[in-house]
Structure 1
Amino acid sequence: MRVSCDKEGIEKAAKIINEGGVVVFPTDTVYGIGCDPYNIESVKKIYEIKSRDFSKPLPVLVYSKEIAERIAIFDEVTKKIVERFWPGQLTVIVTIKDLELKKSLNLLNKIALRVPNHKCTLDLLKKCNFLVGTSANVSGDKPFTNPNDCLKNLNNYDIFVDGGVISSKSESTIIEIVNDEIKIIRKGSLSYEELTKI
């Protein structure tokens, strides 16, 4: 099912997520694929659709920093950085404290979190708070910014939320704070220089 990024489309997508379905949706970087991160079967389905190695943990999108703090522990440096760059193209790796989520996502003690800067994604997150948010492509392939390319190359999801073509430089930058220092895990649209200007 393909829906528009409007009130009706968001309602349908949120209902499908709550029922254990898998959704493809636009973000501020690329098209993403997600589900309820607490639903083990839905999480497995995402790994299968992407042909992703089960040892690679999935990132989670959240509606706000306050909601993120319900499931994870933020050190002071990370707090300052996310206050500056969220919503935005920054994923942070922090300590998870939600044991149910730790189990459903098969995590050790860390989780990757992001608040995206995209109205459509935020409208969806407003209804479900948390959403697995990984790029909607087969692992190893390039992520998609054009909805038609994404539709042609991806299968077995339940609903596609069409937000048009995304104009973005690249995927989000992934960081972790180690001994109060920024460690870049994946280079993305935010540079080290930008991140240190806080």
Structure 2
Amino acid sequence: MRVNCDKKGIERAFEIINRGGIAIFPTDTTYGIGCNPYNNESIKKIYEIKFRDSSKPLPVLVYSKEIAEKIVFFDELSLKFAKQFWPGPLTLVLSSHDKRLKNSLGVSDKIAVRVPNHKCTLELLKKCSFLVGTSANISGQSSSTDPVECFKNMQDYDVFVDGGPIISKGESTIIEIEDEKVRIIREGALSRKEILQL
């Protein structure tokens, strides 16, 4: 099913996600694929759709820093990064205090979280609060900013939220704070310089 990125389309996508469905949706960096992060079967299906190695944990998109605090701990430095770059293309790897979520995502401690800077995704997250949000592509292939290309290349999802072409500088930059130092796991839309000068 393909829906527009409007009130009706977002409501439909929310209903499908709530029932365990898989959604493809636009973000500020690429088209993403996601589901309810507490639904084990849905998570398993995303790994299958993407042919993703099950040892690679899936990131979670959240509506706001305040929502993120319901599932992860912020130290002083990670809080500073969140305030500076959220919503935006920065993923923070943080310790989680949500046992149920850690179990469904198959992680022992840390979860990658981000607040995307895209009106459509934020409207969806306003309803869902949390969404698994990983790039909508087969693992190893390029991520997509073009809805036509993404719609054609991806299979076995339940709803495609079409937000039009995405103007993007690349995938999100991923960082982790260890011993009060910043470790850049993946340099993306935010450069190393932008991160380290904060």
- How high is the TM-score relative to the length of structure 2? 0.99
Aligned to 1:160: 160
Deviation at 1:193, TM superposition (A): 1.5
Q: Give the Cα–Cα distance (whole angstroms) in 2 for the partners of residues 94 and 119 of structure 1.
A: 25
Deviation at 1:196, TM superposition (A): 2.7
Q: Give the Cα–Cα distance (whole angstroms) in 2 for the partners of residues 193 and 141 of structure 1.
A: 27
Deviation at 1:149, TM superposition (A): 0.4
Does residue 195 of structure 2 align to residue 195 of structure 1?
A: yes
Aligned length: 198
Structure 2 stretches of 5 or more lacking a match? none
Q: Give the Cα–Cα distance (whole angstroms) in 1 for the partners of residues 62 and 94 of structure 2.
A: 13
Deviation at 1:197, TM superposition (A): 3.0
Does residue 74 of structure 2 align to residue 59 of structure 1?
A: no
Structure 1 stretches of 5 or more lacking a match? none
Aligned to 1:175: 175
Aligned to 1:122: 122
Aligned to 1:138: 138
Segments of 4+ in structure 1 off by > 3 A? Answer: none
Q: Give the Cα–Cα distance (whole angstroms) in 1 for the partners of residues 177 and 42 of structure 2.
A: 30
Q: Give the Cα–Cα distance (whole angstroms) in 1 for the partners of residues 56 and 140 of structure 2.
A: 13
What does 1:18-57 correspond to in 2, within 5 Å? Answer: 18-57=18-57
Q: SS at 1:73's partner residue? A: coil
Deviation at 1:71, TM superposition (A): 0.5
TM-superposition CA deviations, 1:76-99 (whole Å, max 9, x none): 100001100000000000001100
Does residue 2 of structure 2 align to residue 2 of structure 1?
A: yes
Choose 83-92 or 186-195, whichever is displaced more: 186-195
What does 1:72-83 correspond to in 2, within 5 Å? Answer: 72-83=72-83
Q: Give the Cα–Cα distance (whole angstroms) in 2 for the partners of residues 118 and 22 of structure 1.
A: 19
Amino acid at match of 2:38: Y
Q: Give the Cα–Cα distance (whole angstroms) in 2 for the partners of residues 80 and 151 of structure 1.
A: 37
Q: Give the Cα–Cα distance (whole angstroms) in 2 for the partners of residues 197 and 118 of structure 1.
A: 25
Q: Give the Cα–Cα distance (whole angstroms) in 2 for the partners of residues 106 and 12 of structure 1.
A: 28
Deviation at 1:179, TM superposition (A): 1.5
Q: Percent identity?
A: 64
Q: Give the Cα–Cα distance (whole angstroms) in 2 for the partners of residues 26 and 156 of structure 1.
A: 18
Amino acid at match of 2:72: A
Aligned to 2:94: 94
Q: SS at 1:176's partner residue? A: strand
Q: Give the Cα–Cα distance (whole angstroms) in 2 for the partners of residues 86 and 174 of structure 1.
A: 13
Q: Give the Cα–Cα distance (whole angstroms) in 1 for the partners of residues 66 and 189 of structure 2.
A: 24
